[in-house]
């Protein structure tokens, strides 16, 4: 059984991932025009990745003796593509920090597999931020 702090942190990350895939789905659907087609495709392709992160977190919470709790942020996303990308770069950077904190907690609890997975997810989120920055120029 994992600590309450770790389970709470995993649930927080789960909700960020669910919020992100919902936001990316809506943003990908709403982007129009050839100028931003690359951004549209990036958002649509990232939905599956974010769903995978959320599924992993939900499964791990259960395996560690917790209960997944869904309370996603349903704030409508911006409609301006530049604003979308700028906001999402900042959100991805928050996720990187959160995953690294979870990796540290997992290490303290001797959960090597979780530590490594959290580091992998941090790296994945950092890659998303970099791809978005590239789209902004």
CA distance 129 to 135: 10
Model confidence, pTM: 0.95
**pLDDT (0 to 100) of residue 2:** 85
19-57 per-position pLDDT tens digit: 999 999 999 999 999 999 999 999 999 999 999 999 999
**pLDDT (0 to 100) of residue 96:** 98
**List of residues 6+ apart from 90 with CB closer than 8 A:** none
- Residue spans of the domains in the chain: they are 4-136
Structure tokens belonging to residue 4: 């309450």
| 4-136 to CATH, choices 1.20.1260.10, 3.80.10.10, 3.40.50.280, 3.40.190.290 | 1.20.1260.10
């Amino acid at each position: 059984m994992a600590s309450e702090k770790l389970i709470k942190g995993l649930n927080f990350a789960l909700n960020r991932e669910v919020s992100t895939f919902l936001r990316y789905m809506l943003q990908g659907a709403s982007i129009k025009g050839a100028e931003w087609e690359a951004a549209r495709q990036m958002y649509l392709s990232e939905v599956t990745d974010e769903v995978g992160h959320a599924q992993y977190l939900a499964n791990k919470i259960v395996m560690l003796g917790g209960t997944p709790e869904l309370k996603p942020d349903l704030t409508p996303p911006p409609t301006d593509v530049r604003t979308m990308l700028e906001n999402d770069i900042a959100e991805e950077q928050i996720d990187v920090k959160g995953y690294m904190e979870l990796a540290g907690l997992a290490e303290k609890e001797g959960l090597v597999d979780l530590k490594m997975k959290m580091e992998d997810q941090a790296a994945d989120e950092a890659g998303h931020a970099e791809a978005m920055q590239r789209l902004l120029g």
